[in-house]
Amino acid sequence: MDAQELKQYLADAPPSVVRLEIEKHFDALTDRQKRYAHFISRASFEGSRIVARQISPESEPIFDFILALHKSSGGDWKALQVKAGISDEELSFFLQYAAQFLGNNGNYKSFGDAKFIPRCSESTFAALAKTSSDAQKFYDATAGAIFSTDQPSLMHLGYPEEGHMTTYYPGSPDITKTEIDAVSAWMEKKGLLPENTRLVKTKDGSFEIWIASAVRTVPSDGDIGKEASYKIEDGALAGKTISLVYGDYHKEMAAIAASIKGAAENSDNENQKKMHNAYAKSFGDGSLLAFKDAQRFWIRDKGPMVESNIGFIETYRDPAGIRGEWEGFAAVVNLERTRAFGALVEAAPSLIPLLPWNKDFEKDKFLSPDFTSLEVLTFSGSGIPAGINIPNYDDIRQTEGFKNVSLGNVLSAKAPDEKIPFIDEKDLELYKRYRDGAFEVQVGLHELTGHGCGKLLQETSPGVFNFDKENPPISPITGKPVTTWYKPGQTWGSLFGSWAGAYEECRAELVAMYLSCEFPVLKIFGFGDGSLDMDGQAGDVLYSSYLSMARAGLVSLEMWDPKSRKWGQAHSQARFSILQCFLEAGDDFCKLDYKGDDLTDLKISLDRSKILTAGRKAVADYLQKLHIYKSTADAEGGIKFFGDMTHVDPDFWGKKIRDEVLNKKQPRKVFVQANTYLDKDSGKVTLKHYDATPEGMIQSWAEREV
């Protein structure tokens, strides 16, 4: 890999280390609520090693190497520098890499799925390793993978057969997409859910499904019975054996289950208690049916002061798009900001009918969810989102509902001296003033109405349909009756596969862009009086929102890999396509302005006066197609359409524009989180914050003891 190409994989220097502020919100909780939050926080962090193992084989030993150096030095990095005989710059580069590594829970970026490597030489790490026998042991266990760049395909997460990195298929370099899909189809047919599994192809060509659980034998009431081995009689896997192997991450799952039981004992109500008991069963026995029950109790736990969710949730990083990464969070409700989201929930039933499709493609009844603004105490995983809409199970979402949360202290966290490239000087002051407000509106609409809207046309069981099959709905795309729908056992994720994540994020973003043009919505968040006024404060927020989305689409090119010509991040892929939608809207609505061929003066030009006309119409047209393809289970049509919209021309976008994006790239924030400590004698919980520095980040993890 040449030096120019290598630059894009170097660790941020310096990384943008930001502290998650939580103290005043945590202090307002009762002692019981603090204990409840403490146990959920512990359970979440006890899954950190699971996340590391889900990213790369070297991630866990790198984690241990960093912590071993902290332990041996007592956190005195200058003394360690002297002992190792390294320079100030070399120590700084090590600390910067360590902070970015811990902020991503592994050595691949949580946003982009690309590997990052230290800016110092291998000799710096080798010198640090020699200062401690434990550090040396863990450094040796990385087997050179910290710095290796000799196989470019391994610099990105993806399918093994394409040469990419993944640990969702451990020890299976020759497993194919076809085999992965065939096992997935078998699991779907048997009713075995995939989120807490990994898949192994054995030397004899059979398959093992590893199930995350504290137990290491098949439980008596397993999700598909007591059998552990299945001989496949027909299809692509005919003659092969599929075995269920319980006990993946068994040590971590046992610790998680124990902490979750502590949360159950300190719950505020019966729904919380039942939820955590169901979690404990799921993490103990590996039952995702029990996990789904936990999600049902979670939906019913309305208006808690401490909000949480935990488990194998998001499936973005599995190349097949079905296996979940571990995450868990504990957060305190911000009652003041929650009021605005509550008003948005009340308005949702009148907003959703404004979307560009008729009632045939919408749920019969909008199931009003909880929508809360949260201040995060703990978020364990590879990264922290700005908002969440879960559970991801369609059968629960369609009939029982869901919850939305906006993560307030994540949204508001700012790095000092943050630069904002590609925004014109004339727009910069307005953009800085209103981008946070615009983003809060965007997150609210995205999570609530975006992920919360839409009906899937289904044959719910053989011969039973949730629509009139004899007089099927008319597709607004073709003008003809629909001919496709979800068959029994099929889900949105199983049909759209690895495309599902980016596709759904795009659909939700477009819903938000479309509905943010409704001025009564902007009033809910404190902008304007609800009347149409593009020249007032509400118009400023709307303009900032569209400008922000266009800019996000531009900088998303960092996440496109020119070698494989693939996207590494679902949200980035979605936002790039929305920028294309803006550029194709016509009437000079959106343009890229630059004078020189080198694009160093590249800026986004967006006509504020045309947002409600050309802009909104383009958004509506794009959104309608995505929605109808999803609603009617037309995976072939939907994937082709979305693939075209997210296609990157390798010369102009993939080379000229992307090079300038990389030249002006800003480091992504990594968050230093507090730790909680329980005094068992008094039952009191105390909170400890850490400095927003690489050293503070390392100390927080060292004292977490996971």
For every residue of 278-347, which 3-state class applies, written as one string?
HHHHHHHHCCHHHHHHHHHHHHHCCCCCEEEEEEEEECCCCCCCCCCEEEEEEEEECHHHHHHHHHHHHH
The model's confidence at residue 196, banded by pLDDT at 50, 70 and 90, is: very high
Cβ-based neighbour number of residue 603 at 10 Å: 18
408's tokens: 């307030």
Helices 425-445 + 500-515 axis angle, to 10: 110
- The chain-wide mean pLDDT, for the chain, equals 96
- Cβ proximity of 198 and 204 under 8 Å: no
The DSSP symbol for 472 reads P
**Residue 130, amino acid:** K
Give the span between the Cα atoms of 88 and 15, in whole angstroms.
17
Residues in the chain: 706
- Cβ proximity of 382 and 29 under 8 Å: no
The model's confidence at residue 415, banded by pLDDT at 50, 70 and 90, is: confident
Residues 507-565 have pLDDT tens digits of 999 999 999 999 999 999 999 999 999 999 999 999 999 999 999 999 999 999 998 89
- Cβ proximity of 84 and 128 under 8 Å: yes
Pairing of strands 371-380, 403-407: parallel
319's tokens: 């190349």
Q: What is the pLDDT of residue 1?
A: 80
Residue 20 has pLDDT above 80, yes or no: yes
- Cβ proximity of 309 and 390 under 8 Å: yes
The model's confidence at residue 416, banded by pLDDT at 50, 70 and 90, is: confident
402's tokens: 């869901």
Residue 412 has pLDDT above 80, yes or no: yes
3-state secondary structure of 612: helix
Phi, psi (deg, nearest 5) at residue 243:
-115, 145
Residue 3 has pLDDT above 90, yes or no: no
Residue 575 has pLDDT above 90, yes or no: yes
Residues 253-263 have pLDDT tens digits of 999 999 999 99
Out of 314, 440, 447, 505, pick the active-site residue.
447
3-state secondary structure of 230: strand
Residues 145-176 have pLDDT tens digits of 999 999 999 999 999 999 999 999 999 999 99
Q: What is the pLDDT of residue 113?
A: 94
Give the span between the Cα atoms of 701 and 675, in whole angstroms.
9
DSSP string, 424-449: -HHHHHHHHHHHHHHHHHHHHHIIII
The DSSP symbol for 681 reads T
Q: What is the pLDDT of residue 127?
A: 98
- Cβ proximity of 453 and 446 under 8 Å: no
Give the span between the Cα atoms of 215 and 579, in whole angstroms.
48
Q: What is the pLDDT of residue 596?
A: 83
Helix residue spans in 466-612 (DSSP H): 492-496, 500-515, 519-524, 537-555, 570-583
Contacts of 391 (CB under 8 A, 6+ apart): 292, 295, 298, 299, 397, 402
Residues 445-493 have pLDDT tens digits of 999 999 999 999 999 999 999 999 999 999 999 999 999 999 998 889 8
Give the span between the Cα atoms of 251 and 10, in whole angstroms.
34
Q: What is the pLDDT of residue 478?
A: 95
Residue 202 has pLDDT above 90, yes or no: yes
Phi, psi (deg, nearest 5) at residue 325:
-90, 145
Q: Which residues pair with 375 in a beta bridge?
A: 332
Q: Worst-scoring range by mean pLDDT, 136-140, 493-497, 672-676?
A: 493-497
Q: Which residues pair with 671 in a beta bridge?
A: 18
Contacts of 597 (CB under 8 A, 6+ apart): none
- Cβ proximity of 527 and 461 under 8 Å: no
Q: What is the mean pLDDT of residues 228-245?
A: 94
Widest CA span in the chain: 80
- Asked if 336 is an active-site residue, the reply is no
Give the span between the Cα atoms of 652 and 644, in whole angstroms.
16
> Considering only CA atoms, which of 267, 328, 337, 274 is closest in space to residue 300?
274
> Considering only CA atoms, which of 249, 250, 256, 245 is closest in space to residue 215?
250
Q: Worst-scoring range by mean pLDDT, 55-59, 125-129, 393-397, 426-430?
A: 393-397
What end-to-end distance do the CA atoms of the chain give, in Å? 36
> Considering only CA atoms, which of 583, 575, 578 is closest in space to residue 606?
583
Give the span between the Cα atoms of 396 and 156, in whole angstroms.
33
Give the span between the Cα atoms of 647 and 145, in whole angstroms.
32
Percent of the chain with pLDDT over 70: 100
Give the span between the Cα atoms of 625 and 432, in whole angstroms.
33
Q: Which residues pair with 138 in a beta bridge?
A: none
3-state secondary structure of 44: helix
Helices 270-285 + 250-265 axis angle, to 10: 170
For every residue of 234-275, which 3-state class applies, written as one string?
CHHHCCCEEEEEEEECHHHHHHHHHHHHHHHHCCCCHHHHHH
Residues 282-329 have pLDDT tens digits of 999 999 999 999 999 999 999 999 999 999 999 999 999 999 999 999
> Considering only CA atoms, which of 346, 375, 552 is closest in space to residue 449?
346
> Considering only CA atoms, which of 624, 701, 602, 704 is closest in space to residue 63?
701
- Cβ proximity of 294 and 278 under 8 Å: yes
Give the span between the Cα atoms of 107 and 157, in whole angstroms.
11
Residue 432 has pLDDT above 80, yes or no: yes
Helices 616-631 + 635-645 axis angle, to 10: 150
The model's confidence at residue 76, banded by pLDDT at 50, 70 and 90, is: very high
